[in-house]
Amino acid sequence: MREIREVIEGRAARLSAGDVRGHLAYSAPEVMQYSLAPPLGEKVDTTDPTQVEQWLATFEAPPRREVTQLEITVDGDVAFATSIDSLSATPKGTTDAFTLWYRVTLGLRRIDGRWLVVHEHESVPFQMDGSFAAAIDLEP
């Protein structure tokens, strides 16, 4: 349980430090990713940092990641974790700092003695008022 918590907090801290390879080292080589952005789902090769590096380059500085309400369920070599996270950043070339709160579910496996993320599901809900607007202004 403590090891899994360290994985989850460690990868958030590495991202906040702009250490993409360090961040990705907490993931299995292939991750089933349900991301904030389309598509619905894709298997991501985490040995290639290009995509995350390009995403980081869209901000003035590495985003600050916060993990709250973390709950971990584990047995043997399989675990899942739920949390309400935030990402605080300023888009490149602007002074429009924002904080986005979203839900995260991680699936983890212990492989060769190390806990690794094999599935990541990040999302915000959407308004059911007919606008189909992503609810990007929610707070926990």
Report if residue 93 touches a copy of itself, rule: CB under 8 A.
Answer: no
Positive or negative: CA dihedral 122, 127, 130, 134: negative
Interface with a copy of itself (CB under 8 A), residue from 1, 41, 51, 111: 41
- Are 27 and 117 in contact by the 8 Å Cβ rule? The answer is yes
- Which residue is associated with the tokens 């369920």? 73
Report if residue 5 touches a copy of itself, rule: CB under 8 A.
Answer: no
Size of the site for a copy of itself (CB under 8 A): 43
Tokens of 133: 């607007």
3-class DSSP string for 67-115: EEEEEEEEECCEEEEEEEEEEEECECCCCCCEEEEEEEEEEEEEECCEE
Report if residue 70 touches a copy of itself, rule: CB under 8 A.
Answer: no
CB of 129 to a copy of itself, least distance (A): 10
CB of 126 to a copy of itself, least distance (A): 4
CB of 119 to a copy of itself, least distance (A): 6
- Are 11 and 61 in contact by the 8 Å Cβ rule? The answer is no
* Residues within the interface to a copy of itself (CB under 8 A): 32, 34-41, 69, 71, 73-80, 82, 84, 101-103, 105, 107, 109, 118-119, 121, 123-128, 132-136, 138, 140
